[in-house]
Structure 1
Amino acid sequence: MVPTRFGADRDWGERAARPLRLLAGPGAEPTESEIAALRAGLNRRDEPAAALVRAVRETPGLGVRDLHRLIAAGPDEPVPEIVRSFLEAARKRPAWLDDGLLARGAEACRAFGLDAGLVLAYGSLLGGYRTGAALEPLVRTGRLSGGETLRRIRETSLWWRAVTAPGGLAPDGEGFKTTLRVRMMHALVNATLEADPSWDHAARGLPINQYDQASTLGVFSTSFLLHLRLLGVRVTGDDARAVMHLWCYVGWLLGVDERWLPHTERLGRRQLYHFLSFDPPPDANSVALARALIAMTDEFSTGGRRVYERERALSVSAWLLGPSAMRDLGLPWRPPWYGVTRVAANLLVSHGLGRLPGGRARLLARGERQAEAQFARWGAALPA
């Protein structure tokens, strides 16, 4: 049975997805087989991770709380056979993986500095809230209130830094291990909500499904690159290709279906167009999560700084998402003064400094300073 959320409001979906359709170029419309795959994806889970969760729950002496510790085990450490088989499959690198592209993609992400953080929060994450497609699990797990929002942003930022660290996606790298822990968390949440009699399967499909996982992956790659350019950041063709490659591998580690791993920007835009055009319109969860994300700035600022941080968040959101998305999210429109400021700064720094000899190293150092400052504003230290 096809969940009723699929194509629930095609007029809204096509309006929201129109920019992506234009950017995807000729041939953007989905084929019948692609539409069938989208429908089926709402009822498909990450089966290897789901099987591991079931096996651990059924094994005497093991519990789901042991999973994170076991997933972090090195290749020579003793672990139960059911866990070892899963880890061996995860460490078996896909034939298309290119270490050079991984390294370049990670370096590029770090060099984008402050703009990467702005895009991830107010372009990718906030833009993802525009549709009510995948938000119910967040609400069910209590990741909604202001304090929880800040904690979730910090956790996501730590994961993003681990993934983009030099060597972070090597089998013994922190990014690799953290990504598998995220995969386990998804499987655990899915198993819990699947068994919850109040979960509306007919309307939503599986709580965490292949369709939503692939769509979410796109906000870290395709949407990320599009929004960076809106802030005036220089993204070369080689860097874009490397960033897409990096996130394809992260998606592979997260258990996303290989058919939905976009190795090129054009393919990524086409896929995001398909997802968004068949997504349901915003709901109460969309508005609540969006407001919580904007209000998050109150958690780490006071006085005049609090006003500035909130207005900056609204301004850059308006610049990246546009007026119709702000209306969908129930957020007030603000003149995009901060987005214009970032474009001006990036014309000088990203396009100017970045093209000079040694410019990449300077951008990387600048990005680290900006990351340290952001974590300090959150009241936390930047991990080594």
Structure 2
Amino acid sequence: MDLYTNGNLDQLRKRLDAPADAAAADLIQDPQLVSIINSWNIIPETIPETFPDTLRSFFQIFLQPPPLVDPHQIRRTQGFFEINAALILSLLGFYSLPYTYAFADGAEVLVRSKKILDNPGKRLSETALFVLECYRPDAFLGDKNVLLVLAKVRLIHALSRIFIDKYARDWNPGWGKPINQEDMLATNLTFSLLVSRGMERSGVSVSKEQRDGLLQYWALVGYYMGIDPAFLPHTSKEAFELERLIRKRHLKSSPAGKKLVKSLLRFYQQELIRPELAPFMEAILAFYMGGEMSQVLGIHKASLIPDWVFRSLSNSGLFSVGSGPSRFSLLYQQFVIQSKKSLGTAVSISLPSLQ
């Protein structure tokens, strides 16, 4: 039986992330635990006995050996990112992030976050930092920093679900559960399938091995993010089939999606780190999104995009991180400096204060 069917995805819209939701409920009951977790550099090998059982069980997930992985493939994909980091990070802002706004039901979660609407630059920088942490050299092999990052993001999603359930009186059950399994699958694709697709639209050749490597890498990330592993695509064919079905099911114009993309464009045009790109922002988004998605979001290719713009995105990127093979530590440091300069404060991935 075909895995990617309307019936299966209908079920995924009702499914959430039970371990993370239970752990998040514990954090709300004892907000002081948030400060303890935010103080960690890595997840300790022995979880404090003072933690509730559900929170201890949640972190134990990250202390277990990962599913069978190919260390050579992981290192190849990390190297692929390091070489193409400038363009990949640019694609987060010009393709991956606005892509999620074009799906009306999922956009209803995003539009309820004042941080996303009022400070899209912070949201974009946090997403870029998340990607950098995921590609940290030796991540998933020996480096354990990434596991704490993934645990935090997973808990942030769970807290968002709880707050929407408690406070969003206008939530429509027809949209599905907030941050459900199908929406998490779609988001996972934005870091793998959409990155390779966006690179090719930028004129950068991506081999089948590299495309499949990205999918397998983000399938591993998806596993730790609480996505049902059975539905995570590992080949380009599977990813194409899944994305096409999700697009068919959910691509729809909505006030939420248009509000989100206007907020993002306003940030680009007013506060962009690369001001020389500002006049072309809407045209760049329209180029990557394509006609159908651009129409849904109400964006237009109002001007021609000079060739130097794409060269600039490949060479320096949205965050001015530099081009070509480079040491990850230098790349990371450049991003931290540039994002702090833009936002006025250091970007980090931390659980929100609940007190």
- The bucket for the TM-score relative to the shorter chain is 0.7 to 0.9
Partners in 2 of 1:78 and 1:365 — Cα distance? Answer: 35
Shift of 1:238: 2.6
Counterpart in the other structure of 1:102? 74
Counterpart in the other structure of 1:324? 292
TM superposition score normalised by structure 2: 0.82
Are the equivalent residues in 1 in contact too, given 2:101–2:260 (CA < 8 A)? yes
Query: What residue identity is the alignment partner of 1:272?
Result: E
Are the equivalent residues in 2 in contact too, given 1:105–1:245 (CA < 8 A)? no
Counterpart in the other structure of 2:318? none
Counterpart in the other structure of 1:233? 204
Query: What residue identity is the alignment partner of 2:286?
Result: A
Query: What residue identity is the alignment partner of 1:363?
Result: P
Partners in 1 of 2:308 and 2:86 — Cα distance? Answer: 13
Structure 1 residues 268 and 364 mapped into 2: Cα distance closer, same or farther (>3 Å)? farther
Q: Quick check: 230-239 or 119-128, which moved more?
A: 230-239
Task: Tell which structure's C-alpha radius of gyration is larger.
Answer: 1
Partners in 1 of 2:92 and 2:291 — Cα distance? Answer: 19
CA deviations over 1:244-300 (Å, ceiling 9, x no partner): 121111111110111221111221111111111111512011111111111112443
Counterpart in the other structure of 1:20? none
Identity score, percent: 19
Are the equivalent residues in 2 in contact too, given 1:104–1:243 (CA < 8 A)? no
Partners in 1 of 2:33 and 2:313 — Cα distance? Answer: 50
Q: Does 1:337 align with 2:308?
A: no
Structure 1 residues 110 and 49 mapped into 2: Cα distance closer, same or farther (>3 Å)? same
Question: Of the candidates 184, 187, 191, which is equivalent to residue 213 of structure 1?
Answer: 184
Structure 1 residues 329 and 40 mapped into 2: Cα distance closer, same or farther (>3 Å)? same
Partners in 1 of 2:59 and 2:92 — Cα distance? Answer: 29
Structure 1 residues 374 and 70 mapped into 2: Cα distance closer, same or farther (>3 Å)? closer
Counterpart in the other structure of 1:3? none
Structure 1 residues 341 and 260 mapped into 2: Cα distance closer, same or farther (>3 Å)? farther
Give 1:80-95 correspondences, 5 Å limit. 80=51, 81-95=53-67
Partners in 2 of 1:223 and 1:132 — Cα distance? Answer: 19
Question: Of the candidates 97, 101, 108, which is equivalent to residue 129 of structure 1?
Answer: 101
Partners in 1 of 2:204 and 2:337 — Cα distance? Answer: 20
Instruction: Report the 3-state secondary structure (helix = DSSP H, G, I; strand = E; otherwise coil) of the residue aligned with 2:325.
Output: helix
CA deviations over 1:147-169 (Å, ceiling 9, x no partner): x1001111111111111110233
Shift of 1:240: 2.1
Q: Quick check: 222-231 or 236-245, which moved more?
A: 236-245
Are the equivalent residues in 1 in contact too, given 2:103–2:252 (CA < 8 A)? yes
Counterpart in the other structure of 1:194? 165
Counterpart in the other structure of 1:363? 325
Q: Does 1:278 align with 2:249?
A: yes
Are the equivalent residues in 2 in contact too, given 1:114–1:371 (CA < 8 A)? no
Instruction: Report the 3-state secondary structure (helix = DSSP H, G, I; strand = E; otherwise coil) of the residue aligned with 1:143.
Output: helix
Q: Does 1:378 align with 2:342?
A: yes
Are the equivalent residues in 2 in contact too, given 1:109–1:164 (CA < 8 A)? yes
Structure 1 residues 95 and 319 mapped into 2: Cα distance closer, same or farther (>3 Å)? same
Shift of 1:88: 1.9
Are the equivalent residues in 2 in contact too, given 1:315–1:337 (CA < 8 A)? yes
CA deviations over 1:5-61 (Å, ceiling 9, x no partner): xxxxxxxxxxxxxxxxxxxxxxxxx95972211111111101111122234545x78
Instruction: Report the 3-state secondary structure (helix = DSSP H, G, I; strand = E; otherwise coil) of the residue aligned with 2:252.
Output: coil
Are the equivalent residues in 2 in contact too, given 1:67–1:184 (CA < 8 A)? no
Question: Of the candidates 215, 226, 244, which is equivalent to residue 255 of structure 1?
Answer: 226
Question: Of the candidates 94, 110, 113, which is equivalent to residue 85 of structure 2?
Answer: 113
Partners in 2 of 1:198 and 1:171 — Cα distance? Answer: 45
Partners in 2 of 1:211 and 1:235 — Cα distance? Answer: 27
Count, aligned residues: 336
Q: Does 1:169 align with 2:140?
A: yes
Q: Does 1:158 align with 2:129?
A: yes
Partners in 2 of 1:70 and 1:282 — Cα distance? Answer: 42
Structure 1 residues 364 and 36 mapped into 2: Cα distance closer, same or farther (>3 Å)? same
Query: What residue identity is the alignment partner of 2:120?
Result: T
